[in-house]
Structure 1
Amino acid sequence: MNLLTESTLTSAHTRPYSSSHIGRTKKLPSYRMDLRSFSEKEYNKFVTLHTVKDWSQLKWKDIGRPYEVKADSKEKTDWESRHQKAMDPHTSWTYFNKAFHEWFVKDVPGELASSKHDFFKELKSFRPGEVKHTIGSMVQLHLWNYVHRIQDGIWDPRGKRALFEGIDIKKPRILFLGAAEGYEAMQLGAMYPGAEIVMVDYDEYCKTTRFAEFPEAYPFLGENPQTGQSKVYYKDDLSIEYIVNDIRSLDYGQEFDIVLSVGLLEHFPDEYKHEVADWHRRFLKPGGYAILTTPRNQVRSKVYYRIMADVMNHTYRELMTVEQMGLYMYESGFNILRHGYIKVHNGLVCQPR
């Protein structure tokens, strides 16, 4: 094979989508590829923006407090039983990141077929314990398939773009706090070309596995700065530095245009939420933007976190409404510029007052 042909095949494998695929979507074994934008009808169905007109008038007695998820994973309860103490936050995140990542890399159709085969095998054996375990695994797989591959509710590129669009900024410097695999910062990098991204997580596994194994072939829909038209970006198109460190130990100053967190605020009880807000303020340039998302408080989210408890629930966790999320940040000294909710997430764009 000559080098040109080999290079062409490698490029086609790692960068399989181009401008000709914009507007298309496809279910792949582990995730959904989605290069669509919302039509006006879909936008109004899947994106709800600006439900609060005046944040200064919003009161906790009117909106209530977040819903605390209390269905702990078996790994957490077993660890605490062995050690006779509460699982510490670092251990909790280590367990969570490994459990969650294992689901992102699953060949879901293949595993569904395998679990169906195992179910009938165990059923014939008349072993109730094994049958019960297999049924539980099948329920989790079907739920993950629906939430992640069919609905694309976890990454939700169209919804995230709807929440993140309209920021008046060029070539931003972006800091992602608690970055995990880094998805949302990469989406922002495609939307605001020329971005310099710094990802931070204190679990090294996030850098060496979750981010490292994020699919090179995943396409992000963004903007071509030369034409103003849509363009497909990939992970290796983006300028990314990944740092393993505790957020509280970072020595950056006010040097970022955007400070981003995804699923961070809801992991802290009320007495610590102002500290989380301060982490966003601490690194922002004057006039910079804090962008946050949290899981929504809705019935289907409660069902999801109960069924997927062994995968998701190693740490303190809340489900919020966008009003609750926004009021925490408003009371912490931020003006809410843009807020809304999508399939399973709330989102805020805000600035320090």
Structure 2
Amino acid sequence: MNVNAGPAAATDPPFTAAEMEHTELMPNYRVDLRSHASPEYQKFISLNPVHDWSLLSWKDVGKPYEVKSVAQDRKAWEREHGTSMDAHTAWTHFNQSFHQWFIKDVPAEIAKEKAEFFKNLKAFNFHQIREGIGDVVRIHLWNYVHRIQDGVWDPRGKRALFEGLDVQKPRILFLGAAEGYEAMQLAAMYPGAEVVMVDYDEYCRTTRFVEFPDAYPFLGANPRTGSPQVYYKHDFNIEYVVDDIRRLPFGREFDIVLSVGLLEHFPDEIKPEVVDWHRRFLKPGGYAIMTTPRNQLRSRLFYQIMADVMNHTYRELMTVQQMGLYIYENGMDICRHGYIKVHNGVVARIR
């Protein structure tokens, strides 16, 4: 299904390249047109810490950290059905729950949760007070991670990871695309791209992608001059396919195959197949790009506090060395790797 939003609206776009270096907090996200090369940002980026992947072993890096806390609605579903939640249902629950946080008016939500908490405090409603504390903590954490720090989308970190690819007007395949953020960032950086997004949850196409803000600016390049240019969702040539990755009809026809937060959802015996999903669609010389959440104390706390939102499926947190070793041992040479705010990233080619 082609979901290209068509020509730009008649109204002027909210941001242009004239606002380069501008940042601004919107009710539910941060606009960030600042350069990732600015010195103050470098503390968030570490690229290429491993010099020779052939010398690295699992004894050196250890195994990923498994997130074991589980969302309450998954537990309730499993009690009701008397069986473990299947993968498709788990992803549906996750996508619907996660998306509700992206569309929140966060300042208004903070005010509402505070008011509700103090109302219950005055009424000595101890059960609601206990629940309210959790609600207040979660909205403040989401505000900090997604709006203040911009750690989920992290445009400057993603641009640092994605820059310098040897492609012109690339065909981009995004596996497990959700709202499609990273493919749109790539399309802004490499103008003229043709993007195919794939997810096997229809909700991602009809809701997560459709409700991604039309006014969100992606900083990229002007194809004629190479100078900065701002793009919006409607500027991109996007097809959205709802299907199981294993059934996709494509051959080796893409310049870039991308996944974000996919590899860590599978145990070790399945990870070689996940890496192969990227390899099977790449043109000779094409790039596989993968990210996973970082194994750091802040990430562990985030997934613990946000368990009801995030933890419907098997999930691991990794170091970039662990992530890269899975990819290297399964037939890929690593061109660039590193970590940004809350993600590891690897750019690889078929060996």
- TM-score scaled by structure 1? 0.96
1:25 corresponds to: 23
Task: Provide the residue aligned with 1:135 in structure 2.
Answer: 133
Query: What letter corresponds to residue 273 of structure 2 in structure 1?
Result: E
Alpha-carbon distance, 1:18 to partner: 1.0
The 2-side partners of 1:10 and 1:138 are apart by 40
Structure 1 position 42, deviation (Å): 2.5
Match for residue 250 of structure 1?
A: 248
Which residue in 1 is equivalent to 2:4?
Answer: none
**Corresponding residue of 1:11:** 11
Structure 1 unmatched ranges of 5 or more:
1-6
Q: 1:297 aligns with which of 295, 318, 321?
A: 295
SS state at 1:323 partner: helix
The amino acid of 1:84's aligned partner reads G
How far is the alpha carbon of 1:38 from its aligned partner? 2.7
Cα displacement string for residues 203-250 of structure 1 (whole angstroms, at most 9, x for unaligned residues): 000000000000000000000011110000000000000000000000
Matches within 5 A, 1:42-57: 42-57=40-55
Partner residue, 2:263: 265
2:8 and 2:61 mapped to 1: Cα distance? 56
Q: Structure 1: how far apart are the matches of 2:42 and 2:109?
A: 35
- Report the CA distance between 1:8 and its aligned residue: 11
Distance, in Å, in 2 between the alignment partners of 1:39 and 1:278 is 33
Distance in 2 separating the partners of 1:268 and 1:322: 16
CA distance in 2, matches of 1:47, 1:39: 10
Match of 1:78?
76
- C-alpha distance after superposition, 1:166-196 (max 9, x if no partner): 1011100000000000000000000000000
State which drifts further: 18-27 or 105-114: 18-27
Q: 1:41 matched to which residue of 2?
A: 39
User: Whole-Å Cα distance in 2 between the matches of residues 132 and 259 of structure 1?
Assistant: 45
Q: TM-score, normalised by structure 2?
A: 0.97
| Superposed CA offset, 1:224-281 (max 9, x none) | 0111100000000000000000000001000000000000000000000000000000
Matching of residue 233 in structure 1 with residue 231 in structure 2: yes
1:166-181 alignment to 2 at 5 Å? Answer: 166-181=164-179
Q: How many residues in Structure 1 have an aligned counterpart in Structure 2?
A: 345
Q: SS of the residue aligned with 1:350?
A: strand
Residue 3 (structure 1) aligns with: none
Gap regions ≥5 residues in structure 2: 1-6
In structure 2, the residue matched to 1:4 is none
Identify if the C-alpha distance between structure 1 residues 43 and 117 changes in structure 2 by more than 3 Å, giving closer, same or farther.
Answer: closer
Cα deviation, 1:101-154, whole Å, max 9, x if unaligned, reads: 000000000010011111110001111000111111000000000000000000
The residue type equivalent to 1:18 in the other structure is T
8 Å contact kept, 2:8–2:234? no
Distance 1:311 1:233, change over 3 A: same
Q: Where does residue 320 of structure 1 map in the other structure? A: 318
Report the alpha carbon displacement of residue 41 of structure 1 after superposing the two structures with TM. Answer: 1.8
Displacement of 1:44 after TM fit? Answer: 2.7
Identity, in percent, stands at 66
The residue type equivalent to 1:11 in the other structure is T
Give distance in 2, aligned partners of 1:287 and 1:11. 41
Moved over 3 A (4+): 7-10
The aligned amino acid for 2:205 is K
* 2:269 is equivalent to residue 275 of structure 1: no
Match of 1:329 in 2: 327
Please say if 1:204 is aligned against 2:196: no
Give the RMSD, CA atoms, in angstroms. 1.2
Q: Secondary structure at the match of 1:270?
A: coil
Q: Higher helix proportion, which one? A: 1
Which of 124, 142, 145 lines up with 1:144 in the alignment? 142
Q: What is the CA distance between 1:43 and its match in structure 2? A: 4.1
What is the CA distance between 1:10 and its match in structure 2?
5.3
Offset of residue 291 of structure 1: 0.3
Cα offset for 1:20? 1.5
1:84/1:125 Cα in 2 relative to 1: closer, same or farther (>3 Å)? same
Distance (whole Å) between structure 2 residues aligned to residue 19 and residue 282 of structure 1: 37
